[in-house]
Structure 1
Amino acid sequence: METFMSAILSDLASRSISFLINKYCSKPTGSNIEERLQRLLLRVQIIVEEAEDRLITNQAMLLQLNILRKEMYRGYYTLDKFRCHGNEEDNSKDHQVSYSFAPCKLNPAKRVRCCQVSGQSLQEQQQKVFSSLEAIIEDMSEFIIFLNNCPRLCRQPYSVHLLLDKCLFSRQMEMEHIMNFLLKEYTSGAEIPGVLPIIGPGKVGKTTLIEHACDDERVRNHFSRIVCFCENDLKDENMVSLRDCGVTKHQNRSTGGERILIIIELTRDIDECTLNRLLSASKRCVANGSKIIITSRSDKIACFGTTQALRLKFFTQEAYWYFFKVRTFGSIDAEEHPKMASIAMDMAREMNACFMCSSIYSVLLKANFNPQFWNAALKRIREFKKMNTLLYGAYFDGPWGSVESSYVRRVNENPSECFVVLYDYQTFSAENDAGVPILSVQDFLFGSVRPQGKFKVLGWKSHLPPHYNYMFSCEVQKLVHNKLSLERRDL
Structure 2
Amino acid sequence: MFGIMLVVIEFASDVGEDDWKKFHSFLTRIGRGSKIIIVSKIKRIARFGTVKEISLSGLSHDELRYLFKALAFGSVEPTEHPRLVQIADDFATVIHNSLVSLVATNMFTDVLRSNLNVQFWRCILDKAARMVKRNISIYGVNPTMRIEQGRQVDITDIALHPLSLKFYSVNASIKTELPSVTFGKLIKDPSVRPKGDFILMAWESRISPYKLFPSYVTSHAQDTDQSSALPGRKRQGVPI
TM-score by length of 1: 0.42
1:300 shift after superposition? 2.6
Equivalent runs, 1:66-85 vs 2, <5 Å? none
Conservation of the 8 A alpha-carbon contact between 2:147 and 2:166 = no
CA distance in 2, matches of 1:395, 1:438: 26
Conservation of the 8 A alpha-carbon contact between 1:425 and 1:470 = no
CA distance in 2, matches of 1:411, 1:365: 14
CA distance in 2, matches of 1:437, 1:482: 25
Indicate the residue corresponding to 1:340 in structure 2: 84
Q: Which moved more, 1:324-333 or 1:471-480?
A: 471-480
CA distance in 2, matches of 1:267, 1:359: 20
CA distance in 1, matches of 2:180, 2:192: 12
Indicate the residue corresponding to 2:197 in structure 1: 454
For residues 376-411 of structure 1, the C-alpha deviation after alignment (integer angstroms, 9 at most, x for no partner) is: 001000110011111211354366434211111259
Indicate the residue corresponding to 1:296 in structure 2: 40
1:475 is aligned, of 212, 218, 235, to: 218
CA distance in 2, matches of 1:341, 1:328: 10
1:274 aligns with 2:19: yes
CA distance in 2, matches of 1:411, 1:354: 17
Indicate the residue corresponding to 1:384 in structure 2: 131
Indicate the residue corresponding to 1:438 in structure 2: 180
The code of the aligned residue for 2:48 comes to: F
Indicate the residue corresponding to 1:463 in structure 2: 206
Q: SS at 2:121's partner residue?
A: helix
Query: CA distance change for structure 1 residues 411 and 268 in 2, over 3 Å: closer, same or farther?
Result: closer
State, as a whole percentage, how many aligned pairs show the same letter: 24
- Runs in 1 of length 4+ with deviation above 4 angstroms? 479-483
The code of the aligned residue for 1:389 comes to: I
For residues 322-343 of structure 1, the C-alpha deviation after alignment (integer angstroms, 9 at most, x for no partner) is: 1111111122222222211111
Q: SS at 1:484's partner residue?
A: coil
Higher share of residues assigned helix: 1
2:6 is aligned, of 252, 261, 264, to: 261
1:485 shift after superposition? 5.1
The code of the aligned residue for 2:95 comes to: M
Indicate the residue corresponding to 1:19 in structure 2: none
The code of the aligned residue for 1:384 comes to: M
Q: SS at 1:475's partner residue?
A: strand
CA distance in 2, matches of 1:406, 1:309: 31
The code of the aligned residue for 1:276 comes to: K
CA distance in 1, matches of 2:142, 2:106: 23
1:318 shift after superposition? 0.9
The code of the aligned residue for 1:272 comes to: E
CA distance in 2, matches of 1:426, 1:465: 17
Indicate the residue corresponding to 1:246 in structure 2: none
Conservation of the 8 A alpha-carbon contact between 2:203 and 2:212 = yes
CA distance in 1, matches of 2:105, 2:230: 31
CA distance in 2, matches of 1:424, 1:373: 29
Indicate the residue corresponding to 1:406 in structure 2: 153
Query: CA distance change for structure 1 residues 449 and 476 in 2, over 3 Å: closer, same or farther?
Result: farther
Equivalent runs, 1:37-436 vs 2, <5 Å? 258-288=3-33, 290-352=34-96, 353-397=100-144, 400-409=147-156, 417-424=161-168, 433-434=176-177, 436=178
Conservation of the 8 A alpha-carbon contact between 1:426 and 1:468 = no
Query: CA distance change for structure 1 residues 392 and 293 in 2, over 3 Å: closer, same or farther?
Result: same
CA distance in 2, matches of 1:401, 1:484: 23
Q: How many residues align?
A: 228
For residues 141-163 of structure 1, the C-alpha deviation after alignment (integer angstroms, 9 at most, x for no partner) is: xxxxxxxxxxxxxxxxxxxxxxx
Query: CA distance change for structure 1 residues 390 and 361 in 2, over 3 Å: closer, same or farther?
Result: same
Query: CA distance change for structure 1 residues 446 and 282 in 2, over 3 Å: closer, same or farther?
Result: closer
Q: SS at 1:324's partner residue?
A: helix
Q: SS at 2:109's partner residue?
A: helix
Q: SS at 1:421's partner residue?
A: strand
1:282 shift after superposition? 3.7
For residues 30-77 of structure 1, the C-alpha deviation after alignment (integer angstroms, 9 at most, x for no partner) is: xxxxxxxxxxxxxxxxxxxxxxxxxxxxxxxxxxxxxxxxxxxxxxxx
Query: CA distance change for structure 1 residues 287 and 446 in 2, over 3 Å: closer, same or farther?
Result: same
1:370 shift after superposition? 0.2
Query: CA distance change for structure 1 residues 338 and 301 in 2, over 3 Å: closer, same or farther?
Result: same
Any unmatched runs of 5+ in structure 2? none
1:439 shift after superposition? 1.5
1:273 shift after superposition? 2.6
TM-score by length of 2: 0.80
Conservation of the 8 A alpha-carbon contact between 1:425 and 1:471 = no
CA distance in 2, matches of 1:344, 1:462: 21
1:362 shift after superposition? 1.1
